[in-house]
Amino acid sequence: MTALLRAEPRLITAGVDLLAEAVEAQAADVERVQWSPPMAGSASDLALVMADQRRDSANALALERLLAVRAHLVDVVPAREALGLGRADVLHAGPPLDWDRASGPMRGALMGAAVYEGLAPDPDTATQLIAGGGLHLDPCHHHHAVGPMAGIVTPSMWLFVIEDRSSGRRTYCSLNEGLGKVLRYGAYSAEVIERLHWMSDVLGPLMQQAVRTAGPIEVTAILAQMVQMGDEAHNRNRAGTLMLLRDLLPSLVSTDAASSDIADAARFIGANDHFFLNLAMPACKLALDAARDIPGSTMVVAMARNGTDFGIQVSGTGDRWFTGPAQVPDGLFLGDFGPDDANPDIGDSAITETGGLGGFAMAAAPAIVRFVGGTVADALDNTRRMYEITLAEHTQYLVPALDFRGTPVGIDVTRVVRTGILPQINTGMAGKIAGTGQVGAGLVTPPPEIFPDALSALATLATDHA
């Protein structure tokens, strides 16, 4: 003790800057450590879950399974056939939701879906139909599927079929409609419905022929390349879309379709930088589904929003959703739109962040800041911060700007609760009034309270097990 007092003081400070500054003013060495207390009320749950002897090996197994998945595009088929949807079945993004609690863009998309399927002659009639329980709503996630924004899947829509060749496990996602006035952003005007019909009449069957001829297309390999080419696979899918087009092109040309239809399809895909998003999403879901249902694992396996609620699912707690109110993103707006026009966060696309892409891979996509706001330094910081709450670095998605370090992957509920750092999502913004379409893009985080909720459930299970 005497020796300690006699030596030059060397201090480590955590949290309180005032102390560090006072000591520094006296010319002593200070090592500042970033630290904050765990989220309020979570200390005892945290202790229980951290003490769960299954945790380390369960998380290691979850990661191993996640990283072993190689997603392949193997087919394109109507949802009716792929998922066995009945005439009035409609899937939507996020955790479960009913019409009463649905936000504007979700309502708009459901109205458009009913018109598209011929269940209602016009949007007004559709409203009455849906409000009266005439559609059977269910989350995409409950059917091995994901959908961007409103995430609507109806029986006549064609789906990408993504398969892990070693396990045979499959996931599904609709074909991307483009930007602006589109169903997934809650628009339901005649042009929207017309485009959806062209997609099911022309694009879907053409893609089916091309994919079946081209053979499985390695989506995971394309994602790995994208991260070398400035895409983060949520709001930038430019390189990915171009690579898909390149891979499908020779067989697209060789289909027996009319060359004008082939040219239209090529033009449609080539003009939509986001087309590949609908492959990135089910590829991430495929990897995360492999990591589900491992007792003791604290890894998040889904983050999804329905425009009203933000929900997560955790490997160790099965299919249970932990939900809280979806937040409004902060970002850049199109045209005359502003913050007051934006709906709260919506869509299954946060599956990309859950899988180590999107906001977690922003360091690989500095140009994204021109779309979602912020600076290039912010983009790098976002990725770096996510290492604090994740279990590993992705072995396939390597970030050149970080000297080819893998993206942060495997969100750990305990780390989120302990550090208070929330997953960083970058996302499109839908207009809050049904029928508007896209109003911007920006950054958002989940409601903090869902992580202590999930931790509490994990703590109960840990206690039951012990």
> Applying CB under 8 A, which residues contact its own copies?
225, 228-231, 238-239, 242-243, 245-247, 249-254, 259-260, 262-264, 266-267, 270, 366-367, 369, 375-377, 400-401, 403-404
Is the separation of the CB atoms in 121 and 112 below 8 Å?
no
Min dist CB 260 to its own copies, Å, is: 7
Min dist CB 91 to its own copies, Å, is: 31
Residue whose CB is less far from its own copies, 328 or 401: 401
Q: Where are the beta strands (DSSP E) in 189-329?
A: 217-218, 300-306, 309-314, 322-325
Residue 72, classified by CB atoms within 10 Å of its CB into exposed (0-12), middle (13-18) or buried (19+), is buried
Torsion of CA 273, 277, 283, 284, to 10 degrees: 120
Tokens for 65, please give them. Answer: 């399974």
Min dist CB 410 to its own copies, Å, is: 24
Count of beta carbons in the 10 Å neighbourhood of residue 466: 10
Min dist CB 404 to its own copies, Å, is: 8
What counts of helices (H) and strands (E) characterise the chain?
A: 18, 18
Nearest-angstrom CA–CA distance, 72 and 279: 9
Residue whose CB is less far from its own copies, 185 or 268: 268
Residue whose CB is less far from its own copies, 272 or 438: 272
Nearest-angstrom CA–CA distance, 328 and 316: 29
How does DSSP classify residue 201?
Answer: I
Residue whose CB is less far from its own copies, 256 or 336: 256
Min dist CB 262 to its own copies, Å, is: 5
Residue whose CB is less far from its own copies, 252 or 417: 252
Contacts of 85 (CB under 8 A, 6+ apart): 79, 91, 153, 154, 155
Min dist CB 385 to its own copies, Å, is: 18
Nearest-angstrom CA–CA distance, 134 and 127: 10
- Of 140, 174, 155, 141, which Cα lies nearest the Cα of 85? 155
Min dist CB 268 to its own copies, Å, is: 10
3-state secondary structure (DSSP) of residue 434: coil
Residue whose CB is less far from its own copies, 133 or 400: 400
Min dist CB 286 to its own copies, Å, is: 25
Residue whose CB is less far from its own copies, 199 or 242: 242
Min dist CB 384 to its own copies, Å, is: 15
Residue whose CB is less far from its own copies, 61 or 401: 401
Tokens for 115, please give them. Answer: 């018109």
Nearest-angstrom CA–CA distance, 392 and 59: 10
425-459 burial, b at 16+ Cβ within 10 Å, e below that, comes to bbbbbbbbbbbbbbbbbbbbbbbebbbbbbbbbbb
Residue whose CB is less far from its own copies, 235 or 313: 235
- Of 167, 169, 175, which Cα lies nearest the Cα of 79? 175
Min dist CB 252 to its own copies, Å, is: 8
